A = this chain, B = another copy of it.
C-alpha cells in the first residue's frame, strides 16, 4: 500500500486529487495539507511514501517545501503544477523532486506517476522533458570541455604561470608568487599563449578556469 500526502491549497482541487487517489486499490491518502509549512509538518509526522506537492501555495511555496522534505528524507516528492514554467520545473528538480507532472494529466497518469515515484524511480511530464533535456545538454561544462591534452605541450613552469593567469594575476604578481623576475613571467605568458594558440592573457585565464585550475 502506497501512502500519499496531498499538499494543495485549493480545497476543490485537493478533494479531486484525493478522490482520484482513493480510487486506486494500492494507494491510500495518509493526510492532506493546505500549505507548504503544513506539508512539511505532516510529512514529519505521518512519514508518507510520497508527497503530492503543488507548486503555488501560501506561507511556504511548493519548491521550498520540497527542498525541506527531501533534505530530511521524509518522502519522495511528486510535484504538481498548472503551468510548466521553466522556473517551476528546474526549481522543483533542483530542490530534489522525484517527479514533475502537470495538472492537465489524466487520472491514470497521475496514479501511474505516484506508483513510479514510490518505486524510487523518476518521472517527468513529456511536455517538460524536452526542455529538461535541452537544459541538461546545454549545461554540462564537464564532458565537452576544452581538451586537457593541450596542457601536455606546456612545460611545468608554463603550467604554473597558467594557473596564476586563471586567478587573474598580473605579470608582476605572478613573478612574486613564482619567485621570478617580471620579465620572466612575461616570457612564460608569451610562450604559453603561442602554444595554446591564444591571443591574450584574458583567453588564457578563461581557459584555465574551464580546465579547473
Q: Which residues of A contact B (CB under 8 A)?
A: 90, 93-99, 116, 119-124, 126-133, 135-137, 139-140, 143-144, 165, 168, 170, 198-203, 205-206, 209
Is the beta-carbon distance between B168 and A93 smaller than 8 angstroms? no
Is the beta-carbon distance between B93 and A202 smaller than 8 angstroms? no
Is the beta-carbon distance between A94 and B137 smaller than 8 angstroms? yes
The 4 closest A-B pairs by CB, nearest first: A122-B129, A122-B130, A121-B126, A168-B203
Known contacts A121-B127, A121-B129, A127-B121; A168 and B202 CB within 8 A of each other? yes
Query: How far is it, in angstroms, between the C-alpha of A16 and the C-alpha of B140 when the chains are bound?
Result: 35
Is the beta-carbon distance between B136 and A132 smaller than 8 angstroms? yes
Query: How far is it, in angstroms, between the C-alpha of A122 and the C-alpha of B126 when the chains are bound?
Result: 5
Query: How far is it, in angstroms, between the C-alpha of A99 and the C-alpha of B132 when the chains are bound?
Result: 11
* In the complex, chain B residues whose CB is within 8 Å of the CB of A94: 136-137, 140, 143-144
Given contacts A116-B126, A122-B126, A123-B126, 19 further A-B contacts (CB under 8 A): A93-B137, A94-B137, A95-B137, A96-B137, A99-B129, A119-B126, A121-B126, A122-B128, A122-B131, A122-B133, A124-B129, A135-B136, A136-B136, A168-B199, A168-B200, A168-B202, A168-B203, A170-B199, A170-B200
* In the complex, chain B residues whose CB is within 8 Å of the CB of A168: 198-200, 202-203, 206
Query: How far is it, in angstroms, between the C-alpha of A126 and the C-alpha of B120 when the chains are bound?
Result: 9
Nearest B residue to A120 by beta-carbon distance?
B130
Most B CB contacts (10 A, CB to CB) among A143, A198, A202, A203 go to: A202
| 29 A–B contacts from the bound complex (CB under 8 Å) | A90-B136, A93-B136, A93-B137, A94-B136, A94-B144, A99-B129, A116-B126, A121-B126, A122-B124, A122-B126, A122-B130, A122-B131, A122-B133, A123-B126, A123-B129, A124-B133, A132-B132, A132-B136, A136-B136, A136-B139, A139-B139, A165-B202, A168-B198, A168-B199, A168-B206, A170-B199, A170-B200, A202-B202, A206-B206
